[in-house]
């Protein structure tokens, strides 16, 4: 085996190891690069939907996550504070295993966000 073939195999193996490590990190929430899958998937999706809605601004957000083996692949809950075009501020919360947390359709999420913000308590 020539030296260049050995180098190729070493670099290929190293690349595959790094790719697997990055995927695992994103899937289980050790890395959050704005992906729409894995631990932060729904959180990122909701932020993207709010940012795409005309007249709505994300003020801040909060995440809650337990780092133990049973819960490593999901967020327990997250909330986003939003301001609408009228200047009204509201908070939207998402809880693990709720129907809202499982919703993937951007249009349904937009409607859910608008409905929650129009409610008197904003929840």
pTM above 0.95, yes or no: no
The pLDDT of residue 121: 54
Q: Which residue matches tokens 């327990």?
A: 76
For residue 45, is it within any domain? yes
Helical H runs in 1-123? 3-27, 41-52, 99-102, 106-118
For residue 123, is it within any domain? no
Do 91 and 52 fall within a single domain?
yes
Per DSSP, 32 falls in state -
Segment (H or E) for 29: none
What proportion of the chain, given as a percentage, has pLDDT over 90? 46
User: Does residue 49 register a pLDDT over 90?
Assistant: yes
User: Does residue 122 register a pLDDT over 50?
Assistant: no
User: How many whole angstroms from its chain centre is CA 55?
Assistant: 22
Q: Which two tokens stand for residue 23?
A: 């995927």
The pLDDT of residue 2: 74
Give the CATH number, domain containing residue 77. Answer: 3.10.450
Structural domain that includes position 68: 34-118
Please write the tens of the pLDDT for every residue from 56-105: 999 999 988 776 666 677 788 999 999 988 888 999 999 998 998 889 99
Do 67 and 87 fall within a single domain?
yes
Query: What's the count of helices (H) and strands (E) in the chain, helices before strands?
Result: 4, 3
């Amino acid at each position: 085996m020539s030296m260049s073939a050995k180098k190729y195999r070493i670099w290929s193996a190293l690349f595959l190891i790094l790719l697997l490590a990055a995927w695992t990190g994103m899937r289980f929430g050790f890395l959050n690069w704005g992906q729409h899958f894995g631990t932060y998937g729904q959180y990122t999706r909701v932020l993207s939907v709010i940012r795409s809605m005309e007249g709505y601004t994300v003020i801040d957000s909060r995440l809650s996550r337990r780092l133990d083996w049973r819960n490593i692949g999901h967020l327990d809950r997250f909330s986003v504070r939003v301001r609408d075009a009228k200047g009204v501020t509201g908070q939207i919360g998402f809880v693990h295993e709720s129907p809202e947390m499982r919703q993937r359709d951007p249009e349904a999420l937009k409607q859910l966000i608008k409905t929650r913000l129009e409610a008197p308590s904003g929840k």
